Structure 1
Amino acid sequence: MDIFQFSYHSIGYISGTIFTVFLIVSLLKLTGKTLQAWILVVYLFFVLFLNFGFLVRTSFFLPSLSKPACFLIALYTSFSNLVLLYFIYSFFGIDRTKESRLALLTIFAAGMFGFSFYVLKNINSEVSYNFSIQMFEFQKPESTAPMGSIHFLTFIWILVVILKQNIKVKNELTLGPDADSKLNKERTVQMSRNFGLAISVHALFSLTYTFYGLGYLSFSNFQLILTSATSLQLFLYTVLYLNYFPEPSSFMIKILGVSLATVLILFCVVSRISFVLIESHYDEARKTEIENLRENLKLGRGNILPKDVLYLISSSNPNNTSRSYLSRNYEGEYISKRMYRSLSLPESKPVYIIWYTFYSEGRIYEIGYPYESYSKMVHSIVSIIALILIFSSLFLVLALPYLIRKGLRDLQTDRKIS
């Protein structure tokens, strides 16, 4: 197996990484950055840890990278909401109160506990390849429960803080402040309401950590939800920041942010639909090969095997094989679903296999294909999509500002002429 191997999940995290980097660069380019802007940059770096960690896991067929990547992801889960809470406190100007400092210290301590618990529980765990998610895996679901629960409970506290401040500012508005003060307070109420809604949506997604940790959610479903949630989360926060943040941000950044987020999310959706179709096509192709092989077996030409087949074994008594669930009732058209196994050979790397079973002429057959050929097929498809995604993003970021500025200049010229 090649070390660099994209999987189906890579596209979601390539998108997330691109968008996070774009946001960080856009914020850093703003002039006169306030404390809140720097806090938001730090928060986005934690999101970058999440995306980059999963990108490493889904792009490198190397078990030694699995744990460092997961520990990087755990930093996001354990401490990102600490930064988000600090941002909320700072926005309302209450980051130096006794309550805020105590809350931040408590959440930091809880994050340290959750992160340490996760690392200590998994530091010596055996790493194995999980075929269903196409990643190396080692973590025990229960080890993520404290970290995930703390992550979710922090969202609840953030919402409580926003609600309290929203009520406080509304009460101040009833006292009849001057026009400028009233405008600022109304703007604060509007932003706090919208941030509250965005954080509520984010909190709902974070429940997946808890459900996975408690064993109610499979890792495959957890991965699917997390991939989608990352882009949506950044999209919501970006729109809110660019529209309501109390410092100047250019119209161009707003247009680019919304456009880029839309393009990346659409790519993720289209890619996921395409991957489902590709998976179905792969199984159909293998089943067609097996049907042809079955005909060859009937004609006594069992030595003619499909391309890339590793082995073909058979048994006349299904009760004496690992395929004991098969019986003569399956005679005819039966072909099993795709299955996986890894073979550990002495002093050699594990061999990963895709295998099917089928019935022919009173015998049970098992046919094995190298997982490497399947993995290379996935890698080649994802590589093409990734290149299109990267070039589309670069074109959008570099060309769209030029096209918009040119269009505005042409519009001004036409108005002057008319």
Structure 2
Amino acid sequence: MPLYSTLYAVGHFISALSAAVLGIYILTFRKKSAATWFIAIYVISFAATRFIGFILDSALTPGVVNLIYIHRSLMAGGIFLTIFAYMYHENVHKRESIIVLSMLSLFTIISYIIFALRTSSAVPYFDFILSSYRYNDMSFRGEFIAPLFVVIYIWSAVVFIRKTVRFSISQKRVPSTKQPKHGIARIYAVPAEKIVSFVRALLFPVGIHARACRAFLFATLIPLALMSFYLLALKGVIRYASYELFVSIGSMLFLVIFVVIYMNNSPQPTTFLFKITVIPLITALAVIGFMAIPANSSIEQIYEKKLIKSVNAASAYVLRQDGSYLPQDIIYIIRHPADDNVPSTNYEDIVIQPAGMSIAKIINEEGKKRHQANPRRQFRSINVSDPASYSICRTFTSGKYVYEVGLSYIEYRRYLGDVLVNYIWMALMIAAIVFILFPLFFYRALLTPLNGLMAAIESFDQNKLKVNLKIERNDEFGRIADSFNKMAHRLSRYINEIVSSRKKLTEYSNHLETMVDERTKELIVSNKGLRDEMEERKNAENLLEQMVRSEFLNLDKYPDFLREHHLTKREEQILVDLLNGFSNREIADQYGIAEPTAKVHTINIYRKFNVNSKTKLVKTILQSLSALSASNKAFNEASKEKNS
């Protein structure tokens, strides 16, 4: 099966190759969550439909017209985007997701069934501008499916918005503002606070999953914009060819951005090899695709000269009737009168080379108006199912007739394909080189030292302190290894010192416990002695108190002692009460006087005995009475001896 590549076909192939690289890389994950499997299947499906589309377009097969609408849903995500929106990072709306996804799946299936029924008997035509087959009726292009996809993308964006706010608020509670206590202001305060918290969580998300959902939200705007362009193209606001260009570039941009966002926020561990291999590879493939654009323009200019040369040869053939001047790419030459306004019934054949072509078929094609023009050329598709009947038309006037020259469209596609296929081979070679050689190079240059560093860190984390990385180079990794060795050595020394200090501290703690136990025993013995001594002292104090009270109650026996201190009668009474433990209030109540008066008497007594407290008063009086008692006792004994 010969392939006739065009610029669009090259774009399809590069997109398929880029998507295949992304899908293969995602499948290399050791651990894959449901979301990871889902993205891998989606990306590989995208690559498969793009590659099949490239084959069918290049082979000029009408079956591509049915594939394109399946591919449209994959290019812009479709229902797959909504499924992923619910699945990442966790499905926090399980009941809602079941209902919504079931409804969307049902509507999508019904839409494609309707599309299949409407197109089952439709005849496609070849769009020479897009170099591919399409249905002539605009309604066959999915006009009834486009609004459904707009709803899908809007709902996906809503899910990402809700999950961004939910994950952000769960990570860090937004501080609540002070609310008014009364009035209508309180009615609006709670909704206003919720709106402020919602906007703050959406604009300034907290946490990796909240930021990832916001990034996915921005990525969702790309397919939403593409579908908006699609609606504008269906309504004739923009050219369908312009939309095809937008959707080809935008869908690939969406796919790459979406996968990169997931790689940066994947719940499974990823590798640095993706960023240094896959992203440069996709960038290189994109550059090749854009390089094909000016190359295609150059090829078109060269082919235009070839067309002019063939038309001149056809003009010479008409004038000379010499077949030696007729190029092989001319498939027919027909004419009609120059002054005829209805040429479709007055065509005459001059040359018709294909065996199955006739002037009647050309007239029939003119009646059905199966021809197309772009700013540069006009085309005919005499038999839609036979690409050999497709032609590029040029006209010239000679005498009374207008001549139309039909040049083989297959030869034109072959001419383009012979040059553009080089870009396909170039893309394959670069993909093979980058995908095979880059990992080998970067594995030795980057991943080997990084893996060594990771192994050393894991060993260090497992208390294997004797870690020493080999320094085989003097670049950044060599300096990192040297710094790590120094850090590991210092940490090992510090840890050993800490262990030694802890051992000494444990020994000292044990010794201290022994000392504390011994001291505790000594204190127990000492406390027992103190308690015994305090008990004896208490008994002595009680005895002394009884003695003091007995003496104090008999102060009348010591009139000289009372006169010596110049006490009044009231002060003598209050002195006895003070010595017996009465307070000023009790003394005042006993004698019917005011408490301040009793306090004044007490102060006068303290002053006369030259003391400032009741304790010193008792001590002074006790000492004085003891001295008087001893003196009286001595005097009495002396008197007895004298009398005897």
TM-score by length of 1: 0.83
Q: Equivalent residues in 2 for 1:127-166 (5 A)?
A: 127-138=124-135, 140-143=137-140, 144-166=142-164
Any conservation in 2 of the 1:16–1:230 contact (CA below 8 Å)? no
Rate the CA distance shift 1:206–1:54 in 2: closer, same or farther, 3 A. Answer: farther
Q: Deviations over 1:121-172 (max 9, x none)?
A: 1111113322222222236321301222212221111111111222223333
Superposition deviation, residue 119 in structure 1: 1.2
Residues 1:252 and 2:268 aligned together: no
Any conservation in 1 of the 2:394–2:405 contact (CA below 8 Å)? yes
Residues 1:81 and 2:73 aligned together: no
Rate the CA distance shift 1:315–1:94 in 2: closer, same or farther, 3 A. Answer: closer
Give the aligned partner of residue 8 of structure 2: 9
Rate the CA distance shift 1:121–1:53 in 2: closer, same or farther, 3 A. Answer: farther
Quick one: which amino acid aligns to residue 172 of structure 1?
S
Give the aligned partner of residue 327 of structure 1: none
Matches of 2:92 and 2:173 in 1, distance apart? 25
Residues 1:61 and 2:60 aligned together: yes
Matches of 1:273 and 1:13 in 2, distance apart? 17
Rate the CA distance shift 1:262–1:367 in 2: closer, same or farther, 3 A. Answer: same
Give the aligned partner of residue 224 of structure 2: 203
Matches of 2:386 and 2:162 in 1, distance apart? 61
Rate the CA distance shift 1:77–1:140 in 2: closer, same or farther, 3 A. Answer: farther
- Further displaced range: 103-112 or 203-212: 203-212
Quick one: which amino acid aligns to residue 395 of structure 1?
I
Any conservation in 2 of the 1:231–1:261 contact (CA below 8 Å)? no
Quick one: which amino acid aligns to residue 157 of structure 2?
L
Give the aligned partner of residue 33 of structure 2: 34
Rate the CA distance shift 1:3–1:122 in 2: closer, same or farther, 3 A. Answer: farther
Any conservation in 2 of the 1:231–1:265 contact (CA below 8 Å)? no
Superposition deviation, residue 337 in structure 1: 4.6
Matches of 1:94 and 1:72 in 2, distance apart? 27
Q: Equivalent residues in 2 for 1:264-343 (5 A)?
A: 264-291=285-312, 296=316, 301=320, 303=322, 304-315=325-336, 317-319=338-340, 322=343, 337-343=376-382
- Choose the corresponding residue for 1:240, options 258, 261, 266: 261
Percent same amino acid at aligned positions? 17
Any conservation in 1 of the 2:335–2:404 contact (CA below 8 Å)? yes
Matches of 1:3 and 1:302 in 2, distance apart? 34
- Choose the corresponding residue for 1:358, options 379, 391, 396: 396
Quick one: which amino acid aligns to residue 148 of structure 1?
A
Superposition deviation, residue 273 in structure 1: 2.7
SS of corresponding position for 1:413: coil
- Further displaced range: 113-122 or 354-363: 354-363
Matches of 1:152 and 1:40 in 2, distance apart? 21
Rate the CA distance shift 1:77–1:385 in 2: closer, same or farther, 3 A. Answer: closer
Rate the CA distance shift 1:281–1:159 in 2: closer, same or farther, 3 A. Answer: same
Matches of 2:168 and 2:343 in 1, distance apart? 69
Superposition deviation, residue 253 in structure 1: 1.6
Give the aligned partner of residue 109 of structure 1: 106
- Choose the corresponding residue for 2:407, options 365, 369, 381: 369
Give the aligned partner of residue 510 of structure 2: none
Matches of 1:223 and 1:277 in 2, distance apart? 22
Matches of 1:149 and 1:267 in 2, distance apart? 35
Give the aligned partner of residue 578 of structure 2: none
Superposition deviation, residue 312 in structure 1: 3.4
The answer for unaligned runs of 5 or more in structure 2 is 176-204, 346-374, 451-470, 483-644
Quick one: which amino acid aligns to residue 87 of structure 1?
F
Q: Deviations over 1:329-385 (max 9, x none)?
A: xxxxxxx9521113349x988622212012345643322211221121122122221
Matches of 1:337 and 1:268 in 2, distance apart? 23
Superposition deviation, residue 289 in structure 1: 4.4
> Per chain length, whose mean CA-contact separation is higher, i.e. which structure has more relative contact order (CA < 8 Å, sep 6+)?
1
Any conservation in 2 of the 1:20–1:48 contact (CA below 8 Å)? yes
SS of corresponding position for 1:353: strand
Give the aligned partner of residue 378 of structure 1: 416
Rate the CA distance shift 1:67–1:313 in 2: closer, same or farther, 3 A. Answer: closer
Superposition deviation, residue 187 in structure 1: 0.9
Rate the CA distance shift 1:74–1:116 in 2: closer, same or farther, 3 A. Answer: farther
Matches of 2:344 and 2:121 in 1, distance apart? 34
Q: Deviations over 1:293-339 (max 9, x none)?
A: 65x589x5463334532333445534256499xxxxxxxxxxx9521
Give the aligned partner of residue 226 of structure 1: 247
Rate the CA distance shift 1:284–1:350 in 2: closer, same or farther, 3 A. Answer: closer
Give the aligned partner of residue 181 of structure 1: none
Superposition deviation, residue 400 in structure 1: 0.8
Give the aligned partner of residue 413 of structure 1: 472
Any conservation in 2 of the 1:15–1:231 contact (CA below 8 Å)? no
Matches of 1:348 and 1:23 in 2, distance apart? 37
Give the aligned partner of residue 434 of structure 2: 396
Quick one: which amino acid aligns to residue 12 of structure 2?
Y
Matches of 1:297 and 1:68 in 2, distance apart? 43
Q: Deviations over 1:178-228 (max 9, x none)?
A: xxxxxx951112211211111112321232333344444444233222221
Rate the CA distance shift 1:267–1:401 in 2: closer, same or farther, 3 A. Answer: same
**Higher Rg:** 2
Give the number of aligned pairs: 395
Q: CA RMSD in A?
A: 3.3
